[in-house]
Structure 1
Amino acid sequence: MKKTALILSLLAASTSGAWAQSSVTMYGIVDAGVRYISNSGTAPGTGALWQVVPGGMSQSRLGFNITEDMGGGLKAIANLEHRLNSDTGTVAAADFWRQSWVGLQSSDFGRITVGRQYNVLFDIYTSTYASFKYSPYIEAYKPEIGLSMGARQDNMVKYLFEANGFRGSVQVSAGEGNSNNKSMGGLLRYQAGEFSVGGAYLEVTDLASLKVKGATVGAAWTSGPWYVNASWAQNKFDKGTVLAGAYTAGLVGSGVLNASANDVDTRDMFAVGLTYQLTPQINLGTHYWRASQTHYVSGPNKSNGDYFAAVADYAFSKRTDAYAEFDYTKFSDGYVKFANGAEHRYGATVGIRHRF
């Protein structure tokens, strides 16, 4: 018996180095701010709203990254990420895990992941021509994300590869017979020193075989303290698709874009932004978006919206920063309005964010 125990212990010691090394990293963001919004009453020109928002620059979250190094350049990877409302401690969305995927990553063959993930439109925006260098977008005011078609897809299989400055990705989501979530799309980006350029295409099909098609291209340039970016994006809706309500809801002021009647035909957005790092602690940024859309039935044939934001961010440390943000929205055709009938609105947010 003693000999058997000794042999087993020696075997365990001699093979322990061959086992894969794994790690679990917990990460998160806690962000809260005080926000002012004009024109929030029951009638145009009335009512100012003050509120504590659960994330002025970033949505608060708690996540886990899992990595297992299996040797030979192969790793098992997984991610679970939960979004939360820091002002109330409640769940930020119906889906508890905003990301939940598992996959394999090879140093030679790229990465494949399966589960609920960011889609290729969101990936290209945030990785290649994000609105602000120090934060991909403003959580409290993000018109560009309104064209990312929900930002995530369920039931997704995604493949990603990188080589010689190029990054490519392909996604496919199964509708599984009872879901308006069947998708296919891809992205391609190129990074050369200070310059990056890329584009993506995504197509989502509902149960009636009606589609929403999204596309975007853009570029960014970084030199010293300067960061400049420009982009174009488009969503094209088949008439009557049930996806119109969900995908038009992401744009600022879109509560009255007649989503219930599925009236939006095509939406385009052009955007340009500038960020300047004044000091190692202070970042300044501005961004302008111009959106236009055509309609199948209601209102004039074309409606327009102009969006502007400016941000000042002060970094106390690598993990903690404070920010002040100002934004302005203007609709110009008399059809697209806020829920109270107003055609313009000012907003401002001050807050603090900590990353861990």
Structure 2
Amino acid sequence: MNAKYNKIRQETSVKKQYAVAALAVVSCAGAHAQASVTLYGVIDTNLEFLNHAGASGGSLVRENSGGLSNSRFGFRGAEDLGGGNKAFFILEAGFNGNDGTNASAGVLFNRTAAVGLSNAYGALSAGLQYTAMYDTLIKYDPMVFGQQYTWMPTTGSVDGFSFKARVNNSVKYVGRFGGLTATADYSFGGSADSFQSSAAYGGALDYDTGSFAAAVAYDYRNGAINSTGMWTKSRNWSASAREQLGNVTLMGGYEHYLYDPTKGKSVSSALWFGGVRYLIAPDFRVTAAAYYQSNKADNVSNSLMGVLGADYILSKRTDVYATVAYAAATHYANDEYTPVGLTSDTAFGPNQTGVTLGIRHRF
């Protein structure tokens, strides 16, 4: 009887060991499958002071999300298909760090939702993606498209003079050949009435030697087709350069915007931008930038903005920053005022000063 009991106990113990081993294999396989998927993100929140921010000329103090970087989280992953080929995906969602809401109401992955294939000849992907001009110019904007404060992706203080930052229904190619990066994108309009209705496309060449870089970029888009079978047309092109001299980085460039309506005169605008970054210490950087917008439209103000920012690194993932900016109109009068930042909803004077103090954490 005891022998039979001991045999049953031994068999049970062996089965348990097999079960534990099987679970371990499954766990390892699951861990290995997930190893190529990365969760990442940034949360950036600041306090901002603005003068001339109300119709009565009052000042405004508020909390914002995204002073230097737009708050976001995302998932990216890749699978090795063999022979140097890979499949990849990226899903990225923007949110407001000050109140937890989606950056785009009703849309979760509003920044990127794309899947593609890559090999030695480049990467080809489809979905909601950044345009070639966005990918290129962000490397040359002294403020790196920080909401507080830059005049990109617009060509200045006028919101409508902007290139496409992202496009839906797009196909995108990125190829890297030594120091040269070539990017091209095409967005399908999806209209049964016209293949060109609401379509957009662009391209860029970016040459980077390490200490010196230069780039050209182009962005084009059509409006929706109207009852007469026509659509509006918008074009942006840019040329930019960057030079690193020890702890100092100089950068600048030019961006041009042209809008052709279906009726009436064309509208053009230009933005000159430049700046310097100085790494005072490994954990402390100062940035100075200037933006000048020139308009050829009737009764539209030319405008300028100067920015000074300081960024102190607390750790590998966390930094604190302070930024001050001053914007002003130089001539003409169109009953609209020049704001610091990108939007005119808080600009109620011929000039405006903005100050921020914020913290940014990457994960």
TM-score range normalised by the length of the shorter chain: 0.7 to 0.9
Query: What is the match of residue 66 of structure 2?
Result: 55
Letter in 1 for 2:70: Q
Tell whether 2:55 aligns with 1:42: yes
Letter in 2 for 1:143: W
Q: 1:138 aligns with which of 137, 146, 149?
A: 146
Query: What is the match of residue 102 of structure 1?
Result: 115
The 3-state SS of whatever aligns with 2:277 is: strand
Range with bigger deviation, 59-68 or 337-346:
337-346
User: Shift in Å at residue 207 of structure 1?
Assistant: 1.8
User: Shift in Å at residue 227 of structure 1?
Assistant: 0.6
Query: What is the match of residue 226 of structure 1?
Result: 248
Tell whether 2:214 aligns with 1:214: no
Task: Please report the TM-score for the alignment, with normalisation by the length of structure 2.
Answer: 0.80
Query: What is the match of residue 254 of structure 1?
Result: none
Distance 1:335 1:274 in 2: 32
Query: What is the match of residue 67 of structure 1?
Result: 78
Range with bigger deviation, 335-344 or 63-72:
335-344
Q: Map of 1:274-353 to 2, 5 A cutoff?
A: 274-295=276-297, 299-300=298-299, 303-332=301-330, 333-335=332-334, 337-338=336-337, 341-353=348-360
Distance 1:76 1:226 in 2: 38
Distance 2:114 2:138 in 1: 19
For the 8 Å contact 1:21–1:68, the answer to whether it is kept is no
Letter in 2 for 1:184: Y
How much identity, in percent, do the aligned residues show? Answer: 29
- The verdict on how the C-alpha distance between 1:228 and 1:319 changes in structure 2, with shifts beyond 3 A counting, is same
For the 8 Å contact 2:241–2:252, the answer to whether it is kept is yes
Letter in 1 for 2:250: V
User: Shift in Å at residue 92 of structure 1?
Assistant: 0.9
- The verdict on how the C-alpha distance between 1:264 and 1:92 changes in structure 2, with shifts beyond 3 A counting, is farther
Task: Please report the TM-score for the alignment, with normalisation by the length of structure 1.
Answer: 0.82
The 3-state SS of whatever aligns with 1:145 is: coil
CA deviation digits over 1:319-351, x for unaligned, max 9? 100000001110122226236641110000000
Letter in 1 for 2:134: F
Query: What is the match of residue 156 of structure 1?
Result: 170
Distance 1:21 1:319 in 2: 23
Q: 1:125 aligns with which of 132, 137, 140?
A: 137
Give every structure 1 segment of 4 or more consecutive aligned residues whose post-TM-superposition deviation is greater than 3 Å.
Answer: 19-22, 178-181
Q: Map of 1:77-92 to 2, 5 A cutoff?
A: 77-92=88-103
Tell whether 2:23 aligns with 1:24: no
Distance 1:336 1:72 in 2: 61
Query: What is the match of residue 248 of structure 1?
Result: none
What value does the CA root-mean-square deviation take over the aligned residues? 2.4
Distance 2:329 2:189 in 1: 36
Tell whether 2:93 aligns with 1:76: no
CA deviation digits over 1:197-221, x for unaligned, max 9? 0011111011233210110110001
- Whichever of the two has the greater Rg, that structure is 2
CA deviation digits over 1:259-295, x for unaligned, max 9? xxx9870010001100000001110001000001122
- The verdict on how the C-alpha distance between 1:32 and 1:226 changes in structure 2, with shifts beyond 3 A counting, is same
- The verdict on how the C-alpha distance between 1:228 and 1:180 changes in structure 2, with shifts beyond 3 A counting, is farther
How many matched pairs?
Answer: 311
- The verdict on how the C-alpha distance between 1:58 and 1:336 changes in structure 2, with shifts beyond 3 A counting, is farther
For the 8 Å contact 2:92–2:113, the answer to whether it is kept is yes
User: Shift in Å at residue 138 of structure 1?
Assistant: 2.1
The 3-state SS of whatever aligns with 2:254 is: strand
Distance 2:34 2:85 in 1: 11
Distance 2:266 2:350 in 1: 19
Q: Map of 1:149-298 to 2, 5 A cutoff?
A: 149-177=163-191, 181-208=198-225, 209-240=231-262, 265-295=267-297
For the 8 Å contact 1:294–1:303, the answer to whether it is kept is no
For the 8 Å contact 1:230–1:273, the answer to whether it is kept is yes
Query: What is the match of residue 253 of structure 1?
Result: none
- The verdict on how the C-alpha distance between 1:312 and 1:56 changes in structure 2, with shifts beyond 3 A counting, is same
User: Shift in Å at residue 181 of structure 1?
Assistant: 3.6
